[in-house]
Amino acid sequence: MQSDKRREVVAAILDEHSELTLGELCRACGIPAEEVLALVEEGVIEPRGRGRARWRFSGICVRRVRRVYSLERDLGVNLAGAALAIELLEEIERLQARLARLERGEE
């Protein structure tokens, strides 16, 4: 006889207005605090507030952290290279959004 186990999935929509603590960011990304600290030191993510106990991260940080680890895992890029790649990818996204607005005659 097979037991009926159900998993509860909890999701939240995160954006630049969302705020997460260090612990919440770690859980959302599945990484230890030491790795978050390395990402802060590298400039990949930037906390708000002074002192780790008061740090708050925007929801956008979750996306950035996940992208960094995808780049590292899939392409073998080191942390510094991933940080640069993230900046370039985001600039491309901004330019594509601007181009789309221009094509629609919004600018």
pLDDT attached to residue 16: 67
64 within some domain: yes
1 within some domain: no
- Note whether 25 and 62 are within 8 A (CB): yes
Question: Model pTM?
Answer: 0.73
92 within some domain: yes
| pLDDT, tens digit, 9 for 90 and up, residues 21-71 | 999 999 999 999 999 999 999 999 999 998 888 999 998 899 999 999 899
- Note whether 42 and 86 are within 8 A (CB): no
4 within some domain: no
- Note whether 47 and 40 are within 8 A (CB): yes
Assign residue 41 the CATH number of its domain.
Answer: 1.10.1660.10
What's the mean pLDDT in 74-82? 93
| pLDDT, tens digit, 9 for 90 and up, residues 2-27 | 555 655 444 556 666 688 999 999 99
90 within some domain: yes
What is the 3-class SS of 15-35, one letter each residue? CCCCEECHHHHHHHHCCCHHH
Task: Look at the block and give the residue holding tokens 């925007």.
Answer: 58
- What token pair was written down for 78? 């080191």
When pLDDT is cut at 50, 70 and 90, the band that residue 98 belongs to is very high
